[in-house]
């Protein structure tokens, strides 16, 4: 029996949904490949991200923007390589992968320095506006562009066109192959009425008073008979304050942290939260319109335009805008139905592109005898 090729999928626990994207690749390629998903960065990088993302988001945005030119991105690659090169070389020697995939832009230069003979596959994790760090390495074995915009930018930056392919945004198996029985169990657990507008609201690590007020305002909406106008599935993540504040509220089902989130999103008519690309495209994959309420400046700003351009939902960045939109959807349900139809068009396009990924990765891996020679080069 032939052993399937092994992949090393590199990712980063520094926001941007890199981990979910890496897990999506592992799910998508399972069967033809085995894989290891890992973040090779030292712990201090993770701690830095946790600190600035919670208390100084402006600093994270500034770091993103400062490195976002071809020259500065190249310098950042070389500096970053000093911190991970030894760890990365050890990891590659242990895993002996047939190919190395990355969902994080700052690994590509380091990988080519550590193992130039092993095929490098880059999955751009910016759906609309590519950071310059993605375009520093122009000769990867395979570049996967998740959107028309990313594909055009890569070609304009003179990334090799023969190795660059337009696909779509991969999601985890629980989204592209949903468990309908699990969704039914989720409905039963909520005790909700199916005819009432249901919103999946992502709270996650956000614990601000502003977010709690949004939840209160949504729960306070009522119909003409004085009955609750909608019901909420509140994904509170690890935020214990949100859980305690709303777990006993009528019309609100509080969902603590779980990796199995698709069945709960499947119950909703609308997904509402931060404009991270993974959550956006997970909603699209389930056929759900998305309401973007906030975003990380720089890193996620382009996602707002993507939502507007392709009719994937709405952008409402203030509480007033959000409440006005929800009232409109309650009074004019045909607007929600029209947006669902728009989402379905993009969903079909995205699914067709994702179907190409398996064959593209297989084609990027050389014959076994060449792989064996590559591994010998690492000894």
- Number of folded domains that form the chain: 2
Q: Do 248 and 333 lie in a common domain?
A: yes
Q: Which residue is associated with the tokens 């603590």?
A: 256
Q: Do 347 and 360 lie in a common domain?
A: no
Question: What is residue 56's three-state secondary structure?
Answer: coil
Question: What residues have CB less than 8 Å from 66, skipping those under 6 apart?
Answer: 72
Residue 253 lies in a domain: yes
Q: Do 127 and 209 lie in a common domain?
A: no
Query: At 142, which helix (H) or strand (E)?
Result: strand 142-145
Residue 346 lies in a domain: yes
Q: Do 236 and 94 lie in a common domain?
A: no
Q: Do 39 and 158 lie in a common domain?
A: yes
Q: Do 194 and 207 lie in a common domain?
A: yes
pTM of the model: 0.89
Task: Return the closest-CA partner of residue 167 out of 132, 121, 98, 136.
Answer: 121
Residue 294 lies in a domain: yes
**Digitized pLDDT (tens) for each residue of the chain, 379 residues in all:** 578 999 999 999 886 588 999 999 999 999 999 999 999 988 777 777 777 767 776 776 777 778 889 999 999 999 999 999 999 999 999 999 999 999 999 999 999 999 999 999 999 999 988 999 999 999 999 999 999 999 999 999 999 999 999 999 999 999 999 999 999 999 999 999 999 999 999 975 544 557 888 999 999 998 877 788 999 999 998 888 888 889 889 999 999 989 999 999 999 999 999 999 999 999 999 999 999 999 887 778 889 999 999 999 999 999 999 999 999 999 999 999 999 999 999 999 999 999 999 999 999 998 653 344 343 444 4
Residue 125 lies in a domain: yes
The values of phi and psi at residue 80, to 5°, are: -60, -35
Q: Do 51 and 152 lie in a common domain?
A: yes
Residue 65 lies in a domain: yes
Q: Do 54 and 140 lie in a common domain?
A: yes
Q: Do 119 and 228 lie in a common domain?
A: no
Q: Which residue is associated with the tokens 């319109």?
A: 289
Q: Do 91 and 19 lie in a common domain?
A: yes
Q: Do 320 and 200 lie in a common domain?
A: yes
Structural domain that includes position 343:
179-351
Give the CATH number of the domain where residue 251 resides. Answer: 3.40.50.2000
Residue 172 lies in a domain: no
Residue 1 lies in a domain: no
Long-range Cβ contacts of 322-330 (<8 Å, 24+ apart):
322/214, 322/272, 322/291, 322/293, 323/217, 323/218, 323/221, 325/291, 326/199, 326/218, 326/221, 326/230, 327/221, 329/197, 329/270, 330/197, 330/221, 330/223, 330/229, 330/230
Q: Do 18 and 118 lie in a common domain?
A: yes
């Amino acid at each position: 029996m032939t052993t399937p090729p092994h992949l090393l999928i590199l990712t980063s626990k520094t926001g941007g949904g890199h981990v979910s994207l890496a897990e999506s690749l592992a799910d998508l390629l399972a069967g033809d490949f085995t894989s290891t998903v890992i973040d090779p960065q030292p712990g201090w990088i993770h701690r830095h991200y946790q600190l600035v993302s919670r208390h100084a988001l402006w600093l994270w945005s500034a770091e993103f923007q400062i490195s976002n030119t071809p020259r500065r991105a190249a310098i950042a690659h070389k500096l970053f390589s000093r911190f991970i090169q030894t760890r990365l070389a050890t990891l590659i020697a242990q895993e002996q992968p047939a190919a190395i995939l990355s969902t994080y832009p700052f690994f590509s230069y380091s990988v080519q320095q550590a193992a130039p003979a092993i095929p490098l596959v880059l999955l751009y994790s910016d759906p609309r506006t590519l950071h310059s760090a993605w375009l520093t390495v122009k000769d990867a074995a395979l570049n996967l562009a998740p959107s028309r915009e990313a594909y055009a930018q890569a070609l304009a930056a003179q990334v090799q066109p023969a190795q660059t392919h337009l696909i779509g945004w991969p999601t985890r198996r629980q989204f592209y192959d949903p468990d309908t029985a699990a969704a039914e169990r989720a409905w039963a657990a909520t005790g909700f009425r199916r005819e009432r507008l249901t919103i999946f609201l992502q709270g996650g690590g956000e614990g601000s008073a502003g977010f709690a007020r949004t939840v209160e305002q949504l729960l306070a909406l009522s119909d003409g008979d004085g009955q609750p106008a909608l019901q909420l599935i509140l994904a509170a993540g690890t935020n214990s304050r949100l859980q305690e504040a709303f777990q006993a509220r009528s019309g609100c089902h509080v969902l603590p942290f779980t990796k199995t989130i698709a069945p709960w999103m499947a119950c909703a008519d609308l997904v509402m939260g931060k404009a991270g690309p993974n959550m956006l495209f997970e909603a699209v994959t389930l056929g759900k319109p998305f309401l973007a309420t906030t975003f990380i400046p720089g890193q996620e700003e382009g996602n707002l335009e993507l939502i507007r351009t392709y009719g994937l939902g709405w952008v409402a960045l203030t509480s007033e805008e959000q409440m006005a939109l929800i009232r409109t959807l309650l009074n004019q349900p045909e607007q929600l139905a029209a947006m669902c139809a728009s989402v379905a068009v993009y969903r079909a396009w995205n699914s067709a592109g994702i179907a190409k990924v398996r064959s593209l990765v297989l084609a990027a891996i050389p014959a076994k005898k060449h792989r064996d020679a590559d591994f010998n080069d690492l000894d």
